[in-house]
Amino acid sequence: MATSELIEALQALAHERKVDEFYLIERLEASLARSYQHILDLEWDARVTIDRQTGHIYVYELVPVGEPDEETGEYTEFEERDVTPADVSRIAAQNAKGVIASIVREAGRQSIYEEFSGRVGDLVTGTVLQGTSDFTIIKIREGVEAELPHYDVKRSANERNERPANEHYRHNQRLKVLIIEVRDPNSDAPRMRGEQARPSIVVSRTHPDLIRRLFEIEVPEIYDGMVEIKSIAREPGARSKVAVASREPNLDPVGACVGPKGSRVRMVVEELRNERVDVIQWAEDPAVYVANALSPAKVSHVNIDEANHYATVVVPDDQLSLAIGKEGQNARLAARLTGWHIDIKSASFAGAAKVNDNILIDEDDDVDDEFGYCAYESEDGTRCRNHARPGSRFCGIHAEFED
């Protein structure tokens, strides 16, 4: 390879991989210096210079001058002795292919890191290139690929699974994904198995913020800040709950997110491969918030224990299974969404003879007679959460306080 051809090849590679040409040449010079020091069996370190115009290669041996530093024992001044061999271009060509491939790969990863490290949490659209049993490679744009891992976490404990169980991808399928990590190629942190050969960008289809970004696309009120997503609870591929609040007094946040005839939320559901999405209204009152979070079940009343962050919910008998959900899913998601520990009881179990579906009561309301709760209060004012015995205002533990 002629020297001019070497420069042309470097320029073509730099343009193709979107890497700075001069950075590529500097890295090649450093790598060739190590190679020539070994090939020429030099006593001292070598330095290689590549002419940016002609591509001519010059090799110098850095011969120390003067005395070494008294403290470090290292030389600070060097004399460059030209040791360029006659066949310097041939030797460079023999080593350049592997060196350039390594440099381009590392420089490409660094370039991707600099571009995408500030975009963690962004939603991007990509195309599925290929899939393995452990991850799917997604093309974000020309020259940039991302990894969507779906490892068996029982077999690979240090890896992760970012694919919902109900999703499987095909070649050339377009997919919206959330960037959750951009690997730093210069990091000293321990690397995962085969990480160096994997894409730098890690994306997810299970992260709760994926729903947040999808709603920002479909609902202008959220994008403009008039409607705020307060909390998200998600079981990927199955069901999610989203709590929203309005910053405008006359704007219905749930209606804005659902859209005309459900058109807006339907687009989100379709992108999530028919994952069910419940949009509920956030409320400052925890009793109202917990009741809303259990939607679509109708709640009779909510008893709040602020000290223990505990909410006892009473629902009509025919709403109990709906409030709990299949395998406890509805109650579980409501607890994650609100941050309250939720205990759901049926009206008959709670001893309620008749309840109004539209009543919400908190811990300060007088519910002794109507709902059968124990009337005992401790010295610090905490109410007993047990139910009163039939014909009594107290539970079996506090029966001694009966008048």
Check residue 195 and give its pLDDT.
60
pLDDT band at 363 (very low <50, low <70, confident <90, very high): very low
Residue 273: enclosing H or E segment and its boundaries? none
What is the C-alpha end-to-end distance of the chain, expressed in Å?
105
Question: Is pTM beyond 0.75 here?
Answer: no
Check residue 28 and give its pLDDT.
81
Average pLDDT, the chain: 83
Higher pLDDT, 254 or 6: 254
Per-residue pLDDT of 8-53, as tens digits, reads 877 787 777 667 788 778 888 888 888 888 888 888 889 989 888 7
Q: Which two tokens stand for residue 358?
A: 């539209």
Domains of the chain: 3-115 (3.30.1480.10), 120-206 (2.40.50.140), 218-282 (3.30.300.20), 283-372 (3.30.300.20)
Check residue 52 and give its pLDDT.
80
Check residue 188 and give its pLDDT.
65
> Is the dihedral angle over the CA atoms 314, 238, 204, 178 positive or is it negative?
negative
pLDDT band at 387 (very low <50, low <70, confident <90, very high): low
Check residue 388 and give its pLDDT.
65
Least confident segment among 189-203, 227-241, 318-332 = 189-203
In the predicted model, is pLDDT for residue 367 greater than 60? no
Higher pLDDT, 219 or 197: 219
pLDDT (mean) for 228-233:
96
Rounded to 5 degrees, what angle do the CA atoms 104, 107, 113 make?
Answer: 140
% of the chain exceeding 90 in pLDDT: 42
Check residue 365 and give its pLDDT.
43
Sheet holding 239-246, edge to edge: 227-235, 239-246, 276-281
Rounded to 5 degrees, what angle do the CA atoms 142, 146, 151 make?
Answer: 155
Least confident segment among 130-139, 191-200, 208-217 = 191-200
pLDDT (mean) for 343-348:
86
Per-residue pLDDT of 172-205, as tens digits, reads 999 999 999 998 887 766 555 556 668 889 999 9
Check residue 185 and give its pLDDT.
81
Q: What length is written for the chain?
A: 403
List residues bridging with 346 in a β-sheet. 315
Least confident segment among 10-14, 271-275, 362-366 = 362-366
315 Rama class: left (phi>0) / alpha (psi -120 to 50) / beta:
beta
Are 225 and 247 in contact, with CB atoms under 8 Å apart? yes
Omega into 208 within 30° of 0, i.e. cis? no
Cβ partners under 8 Å of residue 117, min gap 6: 182, 184
Q: Single out the residue of 233, 227, 185, 229 nearest to residue 207, CA to CA.
A: 233
In the predicted model, is pLDDT for residue 2 greater than 70? no
Q: Single out the residue of 11, 35, 161, 17 nearest to residue 92, CA to CA.
A: 35
Check residue 252 and give its pLDDT.
92
Higher pLDDT, 76 or 328: 328
Check residue 4 and give its pLDDT.
67
Q: Which two tokens stand for residue 339?
A: 């941050």
Our CA dihedral for 155, 161, 164, 169, rounded to 10 degrees, sits at -90
Cβ partners under 8 Å of residue 141, min gap 6: none
pLDDT (mean) for 228-244:
96
In the predicted model, is pLDDT for residue 158 greater than 90? no
In the predicted model, is pLDDT for residue 132 greater than 80? yes
Q: Which two tokens stand for residue 387?
A: 């139910």
Per-residue pLDDT of 275-316, as tens digits, reads 999 999 999 999 999 999 999 999 988 999 888 899 999 999
